[in-house]
Every structure is written in C-alpha cells, then in structure tokens.
Amino acid sequence: MTEEMVLPVLAAAVQAGTPIFYATVGEILMERAGILNLGVEGAMLLGALAGFWVSMVTGSPWLGLAAAAGAGAAACLLHGAVCTYGLANQVVSGLALTILATGLANFLGTPYIGLAAPGFDPMPIFGLREIPVLGPVFFTQDVLVYASYALPLVTGVGLSHTRWGLRLRAAGESPTACRAAGLSVARLRMGACLVGGMLIGVGGAYLSLAFTHLWTNGVTAGRGWIAVALVIFAFWRPGRAMVGAYLFGGVMAFQLRLQAAGTAVPSSLLLMLPYALTIVVLAVSSRWGRFLGAPAALGINPEPSE
C-alpha cells in the first residue's frame, strides 16, 4: 500500500465519520443530562431533509444548515418534553420519535428524490494542507468538518468548566440533588435536548449537503444508531467520540472503495461491515466500561414531588 492509496481513504474516513461525530456529541450532551435519546436516527433524517429542502429553495446551504439544526432540535425537544413533562418511558419515546420522524421525512421528502441542492464543497486550507499526512487527511475537507474539530474542546470545556455544564451533568447524575439545590431538572434537560438536537440535526444535514448534495429516502442508513452505540464506546466523552466516529467512517469508506473496485465479495456482505462492527464495538466497550461513564440517572424521569 502506497501513500497515494492510503491518504484518500483516510480523508474519506474523516468525511464519512463527521456526520456520525456530530450526532454522537449531540447524544452525549443529552445523555449527560439524563435523557436517553433513541430517536437520533429520526432526528438526523429530519435534519437532513430540512437542510436539503431549505438549501434547495433558498440556494443558501447556510440557511439549510440552520434549518437542519432547528429541525433536529425540534425533534429532540419533542422527545425531551414527552419524557420530562409527560414522564413517559424514555426508550419507547425515543423509538416512537424514530418511527415518526422516519415516516415524516420519507413522506415529505418523496417529491425531492433525485433532485440536487447547493451544499458544502471541500475547501482545502492553504498552508495547513501542505503538512505531510495530516494535511491531505484533515485539511482538504469542507467547512463542517473543520467546525467539527472544535467540538471536543468546546463541549468538553462546556461540560466540565462552565456553570451550565456542571448543572446539566447534575441533572443527569442526581436529579434529586439538583432539585434540592433549587434548580429545574426539566429546564436543564430541555436545554440539553435543544443543543444536542441541533448538533444531531447538523449531523443529518452533513449527509444531504456535504456528503452528497442529494436527498434520498433513508439517507442516514443506521448512522443514528451507530451514534447511540458510539456514546457507550466513548464513555460519554466527546474526545473519544471523535476516535470512534472516524473508525466507523473508515470502515464505511473502505467498504465503498472495495465495492467500487469490484471485488469478488458480494456487496451485501460488504454492507454488513459497519453494522457488524457496531455490535463488536458495543460488546467490547460495554464489557470494559460497565463501571465507568454512564450518568447515574440516565433514562430515569424524576417523579413529581408533592
């Protein structure tokens, strides 16, 4: 294997991993606040559709991106409201959100299948792109990829060094203590849904605005679920999520290239790779990480106090 063959695959891995990365960080924020969101797949799909549609109508991918963030946030806020105010089972509510959003996105999106919208194209950064190995892999990407490099730092610092981050984590670790301190668990959790949902929506928009500039039904293809699994792999830390997302991006890019190269391996078997890897990664990280990471009140709705 020569450098000319490896570097494009690595660059493609970063690109393919970016939507998963956004979604994973969004899910981490929500889970840190105690909201288990199994609706990531659906929220991503809605983000992808909203981003595509607004970008197509207005001609501005930036407006599309804003719409995607809004759609993702709306979907996650709906889940958050059903759980925190309706005190509903978080697992079932997340599943309901995915079913609803998948149907909605495919229903609304059907007329636009095959149409193209303006999106984000690669913009190599002069100077940085000359760095050997790192340059071609990390600095010949599009704006959204560059923005994602800041995510671990921003969310990491946000969670551990800001007042809002600490309170948000308290809502996920001990809602009772949080409440005793006079904070509103519901409001903190809804805040996490808002910000996390925006990131998840952007992850979806990456698929329809940067990865391709097209809308297809089911464009997320399980990436939302991979993101949910990656949260466990990342032990609820944004930095580790980056590693996991690029790992999955690598497998997806590798699999696509093998298909394009016309190997003897049937395409259905190659397509299984990311899903099989998710199971393996989940099994291994669950075994190792059983006693660290998961917020104590994850998936638990505090009962109303009388």
Place of tokens 């500039």: 213
Residue closer to other proteins by CB (options 88, 183) is 88
In the complex, what is the shortest distance from the CB of residue 248 to other proteins, in angstroms, rounded to a whole number? Answer: 12
* Options 225, 236, 246, 248; binder of other proteins; rule CB under 8 A: 225
* Distance, CA of 258 to CA of 261 (rounded, Å): 5
Instruction: Check residue 271 for interaction with other proteins (CB under 8 A).
Output: yes
* Options 128, 131, 157, 283; binder of other proteins; rule CB under 8 A: 283
* Distance, CA of 21 to CA of 238 (rounded, Å): 9
Q: How far is CA 199 from CA 24, 202, 216, 235, in A?
A: 9, 5, 21, 19
H or E, element range at 237: none
Residue closer to other proteins by CB (options 157, 279) is 279
Instruction: Check residue 272 for interaction with other proteins (CB under 8 A).
Output: yes
Find residue 116's DSSP bridge partners.
214
Copy the structure tokens of residue 225: 């679920």
Instruction: Check residue 247 for interaction with other proteins (CB under 8 A).
Output: no
Instruction: Check residue 212 for interaction with other proteins (CB under 8 A).
Output: no
* Options 7, 9, 63, 108; binder of other proteins; rule CB under 8 A: 108
Specify whether the CB–CB gap between 293 and 236 falls below 8 A. yes
Residue closer to other proteins by CB (options 7, 88) is 88
Instruction: Build a one-symbol-per-residue string for 26-45: x at contacts with other proteins by CB under 8 A, - elsewhere.
Output: ------------x-------
Per-residue DSSP letter, 304: P
In the complex, what is the shortest distance from the CB of residue 208 to other proteins, in angstroms, rounded to a whole number? Answer: 16
Specify whether the CB–CB gap between 50 and 68 falls below 8 A. yes
Which of 199, 192, 213, 195 is closest to 241 using CA atoms? Answer: 199
Measured CA angle at 23 (ends 201, 64), to 5 deg: 25
**Site residues for other proteins per CB under 8 A:** 38, 78, 82, 85-89, 91-93, 95-108, 110, 217, 222, 225, 228-229, 232, 266, 268-269, 271-272, 275-276, 278-279, 282-284, 286-287, 290, 303-304, 306
